Structure 1
Amino acid sequence: MGRNPMRAAVTLCAAAALAVPLGTASAAPSARPAAQSRQAAEPVVVDCAGQPEVRPGSYILACGDGNSRLVSLHWYRWGSEAAVGRGSNAVNDCDPYCAAGAFRSYPVTVRLDRPTAADGNAGERHFSRITLTYTDGRPDGAPRTVSYPLPG
């Protein structure tokens, strides 16, 4: 390591850190065609991290703070034009404020629809709207049925 062992150690760590992404990038193209063929057949729902999912068991609605999420999702249908399932909407009551609030769960039916081509990849489609229908109770001030645009 010569006259400056700290400099040599830092250089080796930097080289190792650069090598890791290169290994991942070279493996990615071989995995992508299988994902593309699956996604061409079934639209996906895009999560807060921008990752495509099919039939997720949970889904965060409030990406910024996680104070509203769908949990215990069970999908009855996942087709080329719509997906329908049931689960619970866990919503933070933010009482007395969000950091100290409690999550309350409300049963919902969930519908995903309006599949749209992904930007830059016409073969990939994602659902662009989600509709929740509260079946037994609902958060204060919420209508029985509410729709939101989805990321994509």
Structure 2
Amino acid sequence: MRRHIARTTMMLCGAVSLAAVVGTASAAPPGTQPVKHHAEPVIVDCFWQPEVRPDDFILACGDGNSRLISLQWSQWLPNSATAEGINVVNDCKPYCAAGKFHPYRVTVRLDDPEPWKKRPQVQHYTQITLVYTDERPDGYERTVSYPLWN
């Protein structure tokens, strides 16, 4: 019974934390450079905010079980951007709420900028590729690519 109460308490704390983040989504996250006149492409985050060279980025918007942290951008060009960082992934064992997060070093590449549907005058990257430089999560290939939302 105590274990159930502890687990429920942890879940509620996580929900409150998520609500706090969602509630302040209009504020620019620390370390994120504001977008200036949209002269350079942006990456659109889970809260539909354009970002340039973010320090972190959530890959799994629905549950937060995969995110990029400690991003160090070496380039941010009109056609692509490259960074080194950490992909923190939940192993979801025995299930996601009880899983543990594990860090994996990655090289990140953003590609294929197109006009953003929300603001057609803004170019946004539409493809993200992760290359795991050392270990990688179970079942992941060394290189994985995902489309980014529009």
What TM-score range do you get, normalising by the shorter chain? 0.7 to 0.9
- Give the one of 116, 124, 127 matched to 2:125: 127
Matched residue SS, 1:146: strand
The reply to whether residue 71 of structure 1 matches residue 72 of structure 2 is no
Measured in 2, the distance between the counterparts of 1:35 and 1:106 equals 29
Deviates more, 1:113-122 or 1:78-87: 113-122
**Unmatched tracts of structure 2, length 5 or more:** 1-33
Higher Cα Rg, which structure: 1
Measured in 2, the distance between the counterparts of 1:72 and 1:36 equals 23
Structure 1 segments (4+ residues) deviating >4 Å:
none
**Unmatched tracts of structure 1, length 5 or more:** 1-33
The structure whose residues are more often helix, as a share, is: 1
Aligned to 2:91: 93
Aligned to 1:11: none
1:124-149 Cα distance to aligned partner (Å, 9 max, x none): 01000000000001000100000000
Q: Is the 8 A contact 2:35 2:52 kept in 1?
A: no
- Structure 1's 138 and 47: CA in aligned 2 closer, same or farther, altered over 3 A? same
Alignment coverage as a number of residue pairs: 117
Measured in 2, the distance between the counterparts of 1:86 and 1:70 equals 10
- Structure 1's 94 and 54: CA in aligned 2 closer, same or farther, altered over 3 A? same
Matched residue SS, 2:120: strand
1:63-106 Cα distance to aligned partner (Å, 9 max, x none): 10000000110000001100000000000011111101110000
Q: TM-score when scaled to structure 2?
A: 0.75
Q: TM-score when scaled to structure 1?
A: 0.74
- Give the one of 44, 69, 86 matched to 1:46: 44
Q: Is the 8 A contact 1:92 1:104 kept in 2?
A: yes
